[in-house]
Amino acid sequence: MNKIWKFFQYGYLMVAFICLVEGVMRWHSDRNRSYFFIGFAIFITLVFFFKRHFRKKVQKRNEQNKH
């Protein structure tokens, strides 16, 4: 199960990258939508780091409980 979560965790980075590219591509045509995509990319990146930190914390606690 933990391997599945690791896989989905990197999905957040893929979504953030797609939003960042979309925001840069729309920069000259639609500035408001560009801000939205770039802001969403930043938010998703922060979610990635939070989830990774939390998953590692839980994993470490589970390893300590096994011994």
pLDDT at 5 over 80: no
pTM over 0.85: no
Four-point Cα dihedral 29, 41, 36, 18, nearest 10: 40
Burial 9-30 (b: 16+ CB within 10 A, else e): eeebbebbeebbebbeebeeee
Q: What local confidence, expressed as pLDDT, does residue 15 receive? A: 95
Above 80 in pLDDT, residue 46? yes
The torsion angle over the Cα atoms of residues 38, 44, 45 and 48, rounded to 10 degrees, is -170
Mean confidence (pLDDT) of the chain: 90
**Residue written as token pair 């979610």:** 47
